[in-house]
Structure 1
Amino acid sequence: MRRWLAWLVAATTSLVLIALLVPMALLIRAVAENGAMSRATAAAESVAVAVGTPDLALAVEQVARPVTVFLPDGGTVGAAAPRSDAVRLAATGRSVTARAAGGREVLVSAQSPGGTAVIRVFVPDAELMRGVPETWAALLVLGLALVVLGIVLADRLALAVTRPVDGLARVSHRLAGGDLTARAEPGGPPEVRSVALALNHLADRIDELLAAERESVADLSHRLRTPLTGLRLDAESLRDPEEAARLQARADALERAVSTVITEARHRSAGRGSCDAAGVVRERVRFWSVLAEDQGREVSVSLPDGPLPVPVGAEELAACVDALLGNVFAHTPEGVSMAVRLEPRPAGALLSVSDTGPGFEAALLERGISGGDSTGLGLDIARRTAESSGGSLSVSTPPAGRGAHVEVLLGGP
């Protein structure tokens, strides 16, 4: 916008200056020519007074320019000059001006005792244009200075408009990225200030809606836990052990589904945060190590020595790690070893969990593949966590050809 406005002002100013300075330049040239011709005419008239007197030669010498007097008898006084058609026309009693080689000639007729004499005063082109080039140069410099001044003023004006607009764009990108504390600083023209106030009002409204959503999630958690507890108690009171176990499994599955929905809703309400991935992974591995020790599982852990910040909230990352480790405990026999590795990446970290169990193909054949984007192995939480941070999730088989290997890239590449 700044460049376009500068070009617009430059074009407009140039057109205005051309319309003004070109006629002025022509007028200056005409004034200079008229002045030179007027001085030449005055010199010719001063010599015409002495025609027919003995002082004619003296009068011609006193004029500081080439003067020629054509006498009626064919003789001349003063500078040598050809008797042109204009001279013969002036000899009829008419005073004329005509173009000559290298300038102009002013011809004034004067009556003498022997007839009509013609006084010729030559005006060179240099005198006709005296001071004109300098004046034209001054006008050109003035025009360029005005164009540059207009461009500078236009750039300042455009900057006063574009700077607040750029600020609005940055704030909108921060809001889109999850930074709900971003606010615009009203400035610039009234219209831009109005947009900034509207954007701030929108951000406040988003905060209100998210707060309402958090309250709704808390209420939903409270409302659903009570009937689930009652359903679990009813299942335990059944006399048929198989039926009780089946209902208990259904209640557990329903509770996990409800917990997942509530957790995801809380994560959306809380917005995108950040945490120390090394600390979170270390704490969750320590939590699951107790169960791994009971099942005789060997756990290999490789974590960075120092903090490793990632663009994911601590609770969200903890849920992701729990999903990955819980997947190993749920779908591999007791005694199967596993490895947890966390490596830094330019914009985040790479979390990998691998085991030496039956692998994904056996697990999928056992459980089936769920619909939509689900993996069917409880990895949806990990996938959504990776994608929310700009990363990705990948599953593969280790080079040994047995087991499963899950990589979660946290943050963009």
Structure 2
Amino acid sequence: MRRWLALLVAATTSVVLIALLVPMALLIRAVAENGAMSRATGAAASVGVAAGTDDLPLAVERVELPVTVFLPDGRTLGAPAARSDAVRLAATGRSVTAEAPGGREVLAAAQSPQGTVVTRVFVSEDELTRGVREAWGALAGLGLALVVLGIVLADRLALAVTRPVDGLARVSHRLAGGDLEARAEPGGPPEVRSVALALNHLAGRIGDLLTAERESVADLSHRLRTPLTALRLDAESLRDPEEAARLGARVDALERAVNAVITGARRRSAGRETCDAAAVVRERVRFWSVLAEDQGREVEVSVPGTALPVAVTAQDLVACVDALLGNVFAHTPEGAGLSVRLGPRPDGAALVVADRGPGFEPALLRRGDSGGGSTGLGLDIARRTAESSGGSLGVSRGPDGGAVVEVVLGAG
């Protein structure tokens, strides 16, 4: 914005200055020419007064400009000059001004007892433009100084506008990164101050909504405690120990899921946490490898041996990896191989899960509509995990026809 405002002011100032200075420059030149011609006319008149007298040679010497006097008998006094058509015209008794090589000539006719005396005063181009170049240089310098001054003032004005706007941008990025305590400092023009106040109000409103959401989740958890307890009691009351253990395990898994939802909601407004993506991915692949071995699936794993911190919690990354691998096992036939690759990026890390199944449907990219009887929430979990870290998720078709899901995670 600063550059565009400076260019706008420079263009506007230049147009105004051209509209003013060009006519002024032409006027200066016209005034200089008129002054030179006036001096030449005066000099010719002063010499013409002495025509026919003995003071004529002295009058010619007193004139600073080149003067030639053409006498009736054909003789000339002063600077040598040829009898041009203009001189012959002036000899008829008319005073004229004519163009001459290198300037202009002023011809004045005066009557003497011997006949018509023609006085010629030559005005050179330098005399016609005396002082014009200096005046034009002064005008150009003045115009340039005004343009520079306008650009400097425009830059100061633009800085007063862009500095608060840059502050608003920084605050918005902090809010997007999860720092809900970020607030903008109102400043600059009234409109920018209004935007800063609105952004602060929005940040406060977001905090209030998240607080209300956490309270709602906490209330929901308390409401679920009673039916979960009843289910646990029912499971323990079963006569078949194996059936009781199986239902008890299911109840424990449901309780852990509820606790995870509560923990995630409470952590949503806190500062961003990090985890070692290499350790998490390595552990989850080891967990799923047991099922892959039972189904005859070949698993290719490429995980760095060193720590790879990313801007998500270990619990969220576990849910993301489990969702991606669960999709592979749920939507590909037994025996279809898969690969899991984790690698560093300049801005974080990239997790790529590919399978050698029959392919995928474009609807996989839409929440709740994945086809094949799936809810489509697996990819949505992965997408939210990636976006919460400042990354992204992409789905494409692999060279073998299977699905390739790439999760880009921000650096921790």
TM-score (norm 1): 0.70
| Secondary structure of 1:178 counterpart | coil
> 2:103, 2:189 → 1: CA distance?
60
> 1:380, 1:44 → 2: CA distance?
101
Q: Which moved more, 1:197-206 or 1:117-126?
A: 117-126
Q: Match for residue 326 of structure 1?
A: none
> 2:105, 2:408 → 1: CA distance?
94
In the alignment, structure 1 segments of 5+ residues that lack a partner are 282-303, 324-342, 352-368, 393-407
Larger Rg belongs to = 1
Q: Match for residue 64 of structure 1?
A: 64
> 1:59, 1:410 → 2: CA distance?
100
Query: Contact 1:274–1:309 (CA<8 Å) still a contact in 2?
Result: no
How big is each residue's C-alpha offset from its partner over 1:235-277, in whole Å with a ceiling of 9 and x where there is no partner?
Answer: 434556676556545534443443343333334x334522676
RMSD: 4.5
Query: Contact 1:272–1:312 (CA<8 Å) still a contact in 2?
Result: no
Identical counterparts, % of pairs = 77
Q: Match for residue 16 of structure 1?
A: 16
Q: Which moved more, 1:82-91 or 1:379-388?
A: 379-388
Q: Which moved more, 1:144-153 or 1:27-36?
A: 144-153
Query: Contact 1:320–1:385 (CA<8 Å) still a contact in 2?
Result: yes
In the alignment, structure 2 segments of 5+ residues that lack a partner are 281-304, 324-342, 352-371, 394-406
Q: Match for residue 2 of structure 2?
A: 2
Residue 10 to residue 57, structure 1, CA distance change in 2 (3 Å)? same
Query: Contact 1:350–1:410 (CA<8 Å) still a contact in 2?
Result: yes
Residue 230 to residue 134, structure 1, CA distance change in 2 (3 Å)? same
> 1:239, 1:154 → 2: CA distance?
86
> 2:101, 2:347 → 1: CA distance?
83
| Secondary structure of 2:50 counterpart | coil
Give the superposition deviation at 1:230.
Answer: 2.5
Q: Does 1:136 align with 2:136?
A: yes
Query: Contact 1:277–1:317 (CA<8 Å) still a contact in 2?
Result: no
Give the superposition deviation at 1:320.
Answer: 9.2
**Which one-letter code corresponds to 1:185 in the other structure?**
E
How big is each residue's C-alpha offset from its partner over 1:95-143, in whole Å with a ceiling of 9 and x where there is no partner?
Answer: 2111111111111111211222211111111111111112112212222
Residue 256 to residue 370, structure 1, CA distance change in 2 (3 Å)? farther
How big is each residue's C-alpha offset from its partner over 1:65-114, in whole Å with a ceiling of 9 and x where there is no partner?
Answer: 22122223333222222222222222232221111111111111112112
Q: For residues 169-248 of structure 1, what are the structure 2 equivalents within 5 Å?
A: 169-238=169-238, 244=244, 247-248=247-248
Residue 320 to residue 114, structure 1, CA distance change in 2 (3 Å)? closer
Give the superposition deviation at 1:314.
Answer: 7.9
| Secondary structure of 1:258 counterpart | helix
Residue 75 to residue 317, structure 1, CA distance change in 2 (3 Å)? closer
Q: Does 1:274 align with 2:273?
A: yes
Q: Match for residue 371 of structure 1?
A: 374
**Which one-letter code corresponds to 1:155 in the other structure?**
D
| Secondary structure of 2:51 counterpart | coil
Residue 250 to residue 308, structure 1, CA distance change in 2 (3 Å)? closer
Q: For residues 71-82 of structure 1, what are the structure 2 equivalents within 5 Å?
A: 71-82=71-82
**Which one-letter code corresponds to 1:47 in the other structure?**
V
How big is each residue's C-alpha offset from its partner over 1:176-223, in whole Å with a ceiling of 9 and x where there is no partner?
Answer: 111111111212211111111111110010011111111112211112
Query: Contact 2:180–2:269 (CA<8 Å) still a contact in 1?
Result: no
> 1:147, 1:382 → 2: CA distance?
56
What number of residue pairs does the alignment pair up?
357
